[in-house]
Amino acid sequence: MATVGEYPLPTNLVAGLELDPTPERKAWVAALPRLVPEYAARWGLTLGEPFQPGGQCSWVAPARDPAGDDLVLKLGWWHWEGEHEATALRLWDGDGAVRVVAEQHDRPTSALLLERCRPGTPLAELAAEPEQDLVVAGLLRRLWRHPPAGGPLRPLSVMADAWADEAAREHAARPGLLDPGLVRSGLDLMRELPSTGPDPRVLCTDLHAENILAAQREQWLVIDPKPFVGDPAYDLTQHLLNCPARISADPAGTAARMASLTGLDADRARLWLFARAVQEAWLMPWTADVARGLAPA
């Protein structure tokens, strides 16, 4: 098994490499035994064993700085969706999310030194899904800020268009998965909804119960945002897609519950969930039934 120092690579990082074994990504993972001590030395850190199972695109470990403060070192493989993670975290400045202590971007590596959450247990391990809804909704309402003028955060349409294009290609290769008309309807919505939404806000886009950790400074803190600017109703979708049994049983009702908890329009939340269910179906075939249940009349 590959190691960094005395530690094995996190299992999700290994799995991510198996899913996307490009030469560039393989070279980055192979370089981690050199990169980790280099960044630790740059910030004077003493490192612990990396968190397991970790993420698919990053090596993350507890750290202690020269002042004795508990921190987290996150070395990430650069990917365009999460490019402005530090920008959003600095905008939120600890209000519902972890703080950034330092950052260094040397493509293809993004290095962040972050506040550490203790005990750091994910919300997914501590609360049933209906209770998770309350926490997710409360955090989202705090994080939906007006974007700063002239900032680097990109519009949601950038991600939505890219995902719709990818899904169109993948669905064409799997013609029996969903009715072609349903695919067109869902992906057209994916492209149209960003331009028809309410006043845009800064979005997490990847907020779910695994990315919310128990902490001491606040009860819960958000980690690992992939920020864009756009329609807040989009931000309900990832949490919903992480609750497969509930949205399979009652997709419209579950979306309406999250819309009510966040003060958003239920119809718009339903449309976004339909679009995401179509877009994700080639990766998660169970969402095909969700898409059929949510299809506009």
Q: Looking at the annotation, which residues are catalytic?
A: 206
Cβ-based neighbours of 204, under 8 Å, separated by 6 or more: 88, 140, 143, 211, 222, 225, 226, 227, 235
DSSP per residue, 176-208: TSS-HHHHHHHHHHHHHGGGS-SS-EEE-SS--
The strand pairing partners of 103, in sequence order, are 112
**Across the chain, where does the E strand assignment appear?**
3-4, 7-8, 46-47, 58-64, 70-77, 100-106, 109-115, 201-203, 212-214, 220-222, 228-230
Cβ–Cβ under 8 Å, residues 271 and 296: yes
Report how far apart, in Å, the C-alpha atoms of 124 and of each of 43, 136, 208, 211 are: 32, 11, 8, 9
Query: Quick one: tokens of 276?
Result: 């995401």
